[in-house]
Amino acid sequence: MSNPVQWVRSLIFNGQMYVAMLVCGVIYLIPAIISPRGAIAGCHAYCFWIRWTASWMIGLKVEIRGEPPKDEVMVAPKHQSFLDVLMIYGAIPRGKFIMKSILQYAPIIGQFGLRIGCIPVNRGKRGQAIRKMVEDVRAGRVLPGQLIIYPQGTRIAPGVKAPYKIGTGALYKELGQPVVPVATNVGVYWPKRGVMRKQGTAIFEFLPRIEPGLAVEEFMSRLEHDIETASDKLNKEAGFHG
């Protein structure tokens, strides 16, 4: 362990994240039952708390670049850690995620996720999942706002290449909404696994939107190019050259 003090700070920070989640879940339980706005307020409060505590407990600050969308669009972020889930959601007014079906049964996360309009899908049945996503959005079963979908489907460490899944392209074609790509270097400081959180500044950059009308293949190629190019630049800015 190269920095035992930072490791202990990280351990304490990680523990308080779960305590804070429970506290927010209790405080906002009744508001969330009454209205989705209550659930949204609770989720935003939790995101703010984690951003604030990360800045002084582990020395990890967050910088938002670009213009977070406020209209009804799709948001397609690079996914490197749990922190990008929170910071991207906290930066937009009415986000909702395409989430793994099993998460709807998770305490607090599942219940609040459903209340804010998240769409649970079974990743093992890709075609069925895509159809369900499109049907739910079109049928109005999802609250208006910003639909967040991770194009690679899972957390990918900095410097690791992984394919972009066609589900994002299918939604882009069927919904006819603009897509806002998001690049990040958060994985340099907050790895996919392990306790350690490094000091520094995690950057989340909202990139120029991709307007509807492109062929799916052209859209997917541009999406991957924009996200990967910008994320590589942010990784280098953070001192990562892997």
- Structure confidence by residue, pLDDT tens digits, 26-74: 999 999 999 999 999 999 999 999 999 999 999 999 999 999 999 999 9
Residue type present at position 172: Y
Cut 0.85: pTM above it: yes
pLDDT tens profile 219-241: 999 999 999 999 999 999 999 97
- The values of phi and psi at residue 113, to 5°, are -60, -45
Closest CA to 191 of 142, 239, 145, 158: 158
pLDDT of the residue at 179 = 97
**Amino acid sitting at position 212:** P
- Which pair of tokens denotes residue 195? 């306790």
Domain segments of the chain as ranges: 61-237
What value does the CA radius of gyration of the chain take, rounded to a whole number of Å? 18
- Token reading at 1: 């362990």
In one letter, which amino acid is 80?
Q
pLDDT at 53: 98
Q: Return d(Cα 171, Cα 167) in angstroms, integer.
A: 6
% pLDDT > 90, the chain: 71
How are strands ordered across the β-sheet holding 60-65?
60-65, 200-206, 179-184, 74-77, 146-148, 95-100, 119-121
Beta partners for 77? Answer: 182
- Of the options 2.30.42.10, 3.40.50.1000, 3.40.50.720, 3.40.1130.10, the CATH number for the domain spanning 61-237: 3.40.1130.10
Which residue in 202, 208, 204 sits closest to 240, CA to CA? Answer: 202
C-alpha to C-alpha distance for 174 and 164, rounded to whole angstroms: 18
Tokens at residue 101, please?
Answer: 């079906």
User: In the prediction, which pLDDT does 205 show?
Assistant: 98
List the Cα angle 97/87/167 in 5-degree steps.
30
Share of the chain above pLDDT 70, in %: 92
Q: Give pLDDT, residue 121.
A: 77
pLDDT single digits (tens) 136-156: 666 656 667 899 999 998 899
Q: What gap in Å lies between CA 204 and CA 12, rounded to an integer?
A: 24
* Helical residues (DSSP H) of the chain, grouped into ranges: 4-27, 29-34, 36-57, 82-91, 109-115, 126-138, 167-175, 216-237
User: Which pLDDT score is estimated for 67?
Assistant: 95
